[in-house]
Structure 1
Amino acid sequence: MPQNQTPKPCPCGRLGAARQPLSFASCCGRYVEHFADAPAPDAESLMRSRYAAFVLERADYLLATWHVSHRPASVEFEPGVKWLGLEVRSHRPIDDTHAEVEFVARQKPMGGPAVRLHERSRFVRESGRWYYTEGEQFQ
């Protein structure tokens, strides 16, 4: 990267120790770009990386991190959607293999008003890897 360019911030909005946005490469990129070698260490990191994958339209990562019991055959992206941000409200480990993450993701469809998705997502850990199972949406 040229000296005068700063790394692109991660779409998930996670901040580092200095309260500065982490770069994609040092945040969710290590999971999205290296799925086979770098599993997300916890359910919150997986949820954040899945949000980044939606922003970047990475269906391969989304499908790979969806638990087989709930995985759809494919993932479709709505053309022209602009993702506006992610707020993680809580990360609750239930036990060693189950966790929940509550979040609000905002997006603006092309030609429409901004909308928010408020969800409590459920995750399961199998063979050392976290997977998204399903979510409960709030109004």
Structure 2
Amino acid sequence: MTPSTPLNCPCGSARPLADCCQPYHQGKLLPATPEALMRSRYSAFALGLTDYLLHSWHASTRPAHLEPDAQTDWKALSILEAPAPASHQGRVHFQAFFRERNRWQVLEENSRFVFEDGCWWYLDGTPSIERLKPGRNDSCLCGSGRKIKQCCGE
């Protein structure tokens, strides 16, 4: 897990946003794999890009609208499994760490993707959210390697 900083993309690739997920967000490139789409969607959540989230969601499962969530501070993404896509279907198992109202939580999801009309679409997922209780001297969940009290702690 690579921390997100102003110099790199929120998806954890350690690459600058302009060279990573931003071209997807701007419609200049299409994600070539379900994992690339998942990373770009995580970055869109972290950056509050609800239009991109809706645009990359398959029409059969897409909600009518998404409200930006200023209460959620996305901190890190960890891809647990992203097997090679089979035919026109793919999946990504990930964890996304975030803080909401001064509480640490982790969203874990097995996401499904479908390849249609020349691009990958987020179809749906099976999410679960668990509250985390890191200690002040634990490593920060953002992935910086620093103690939580010296990084993203309260």
TM-score, normalization by structure 2: 0.76
Alignment of 1:48 onto 2:15: no
Alignment of 1:32 onto 2:22: no
**Alignment-mate amino acid for residue 10 of structure 2:** P
Question: Pairwise CA RMSD of aligned residues?
Answer: 1.7
SS in 2 for 1:92: coil
Q: How many residues align?
A: 125
- From 114, 130, 136, the counterpart of 2:120: 130
* Partner Cα separation in structure 2 for residue 68 and residue 93 of structure 1: 23
Q: How do 1:22-101 and structure 2 match up within 5 A?
A: 22-33=15-26, 35=27, 37-101=28-92
Q: Output one character per residue of 1:58-99: Cα deviation in whole Å (capped at 9) or x when no partner.
A: 111000100000000111222232111000011123412100
* Partner Cα separation in structure 2 for residue 72 and residue 93 of structure 1: 27
SS in 1 for 2:35: helix
Ranges of 4+ aligned residues in structure 1 off by more than 4 Å: none
1:137 is displaced (CA, Å) by 2.0
* Partner Cα separation in structure 2 for residue 38 and residue 23 of structure 1: 16
**Alignment-mate amino acid for residue 25 of structure 2:** V
SS in 1 for 2:18: coil
- From 121, 127, 130, the counterpart of 2:111: 121
**Alignment-mate amino acid for residue 120 of structure 2:** W
TM-score, normalization by structure 1: 0.84
Unmatched runs of 5 consecutive residues or more in structure 1: 1-5, 15-20
* Partner Cα separation in structure 1 for residue 69 and residue 40 of structure 2: 19
Unmatched runs of 5 consecutive residues or more in structure 2: 130-154
Q: Which residue of 2 aligns with 1:11?
A: 10
